[in-house]
Amino acid sequence: MKTSWRAASLVATAASVLALTTACGQDNATTPASAAQNVGATAAAGDYGNAGATPGTGTAAGNGYGADGNQSSSSPTPATPAGKLTVAANPDLGKVLTDGSGLTLYRFDKDTANPPKSNCAGDCATTWPPVPADDATAGAGIDKALLGEVTRADGSKQLTIAGWPAYRYAKDVNSGDVNGQGVGGKWFALAPNGKKASLSSLPGLSVRKDPKLGEVVVDRNGMTVYRFLKDKAWPKSVSNCTGACLEKWPAVAPVKSDDTKGVQKKGLMGFTRPDGTKQMTVNCWPIYTFSGDKAPGDTNGQGVGGTWYAVSPDGKPVGAPGK
């Protein structure tokens, strides 16, 4: 590539709020905007997204990277040139960036854009092939100034969009496929501006009307939010989902109260987990997303193990027996 990337009321009320803060163990009501993302509180070093997980079983088909188990990094396929990038219209995601063959391009939450850095190598890079930077050009609707490159550990040049390393997905075989969207809660289709493709700009937490479950809380990516019945809310928020559990059920990071819509404000706060990371709560209950949900609107985590349920705007577990 010939272009380089560029920078991308009253006293009573106050008393009640203070009491609630103490009860829920809230740490800080003014979480920085940079923390207002849906990410796993902890994750294993090799966690690149499991698209083969079977809800409720705790097992997975495939190699744990979102592709079939026969994928191997020992015999890499020659990288396909990016060609002329285009903008495709997706009914669920809006404008999506594609390569010259019409294949969707993705970004990885564990990467960084400033400075650009890829954290996907080995088997991960087999499942998510890095897009070469060499011949990439900007088509209609794409600002060529956002195109850049990053040097990978093996010395190859990878395309970046607004600093974010770009990838394809091994399970996308046809033009317009978006099978990689939301895999592992960390992989998302790229919008032409380098952001995560989204039909609309959602608040950190908002409410969606599900045809089967009714009103449920979703995160800023439109992904369904869940509660774990083994957690606790009083006298302080406690998460009993740790280790491998968090890989399947990523904790929702704190968001500012004014970055929510339709969600009950009472008990809407963050708390610090034992590992030092912070997690969001609704009515003091810790909330999570599900790695088995692949796209906004999915509710594959509903009822898993009889302990995981979507969250209503007031923090209750939707459809949980006796709740």
Is position 216 within any domain?
A: yes
Is position 78 within any domain?
A: no
Are 170 and 256 part of one and the same domain?
no
Are 223 and 129 part of one and the same domain?
no
Is the pLDDT reported for residue 200 higher than 80?
no
Are 185 and 215 part of one and the same domain?
no
Tell me which residue range forms the domain holding 142: 84-189
pLDDT, tens only, 249-275:
999 999 999 999 999 999 999 999 998
From 131, 160, 189, the end of a domain falls on: 189
Is position 317 within any domain?
A: no
Q: Which amino acid is at 86?
A: T
Is position 200 within any domain?
A: no
Rounded Cα gap, residues 27 and 254, in angstroms: 10
Is position 24 within any domain?
A: no
Are 213 and 304 part of one and the same domain?
yes
- Average pLDDT of the chain, as a whole number: 80
Rounded Cα gap, residues 222 and 202, in angstroms: 7
pLDDT of residue 19: 45
The DSSP code sequence of 93-107 is TEEEEE-TTSPBPEE
Confidence of residue 278 (pLDDT cuts 50, 70, 90): very high
Are 231 and 168 part of one and the same domain?
no
Rounded Cα gap, residues 220 and 206, in angstroms: 8
Confidence of residue 28 (pLDDT cuts 50, 70, 90): very low
Contact (CB, 8 A) for 106 and 178: no
pLDDT of residue 24: 67
Is position 229 within any domain?
A: yes
Are 183 and 247 part of one and the same domain?
no
Is the pLDDT reported for residue 50 higher than 90?
no
Owner of token pair 């008393």: 15
Burial category of 116 from C-beta neighbours within 10 Å (exposed 0-12, middle 13-18, buried 19 and up): buried
Are 182 and 223 part of one and the same domain?
no
Domain count along the chain = 2
pLDDT of residue 25: 54
Are 167 and 264 part of one and the same domain?
no
From 189, 215, 230, the end of a domain falls on: 189
Rounded Cα gap, residues 204 and 221, in angstroms: 8
pLDDT, tens only, 167-178:
999 999 999 999
127 in helix, strand or coil? helix
pLDDT, tens only, 142-168:
999 999 999 999 999 999 999 999 999
Is position 76 within any domain?
A: no
Are 214 and 130 part of one and the same domain?
no
Q: Which amino acid is at 279?
A: Q
pLDDT of residue 40: 31
Please give the structure tokens belonging to residue 132.
């070469």
From 160, 189, 218, the end of a domain falls on: 189
Q: Which phi and psi (to 5°) does residue 317 adopt?
A: -80, 115
Is position 21 within any domain?
A: no
pTM of the predicted structure, to 2 decimals: 0.47
In terms of pLDDT, which residue wins out, 245 or 203? 245
Are 94 and 138 part of one and the same domain?
yes
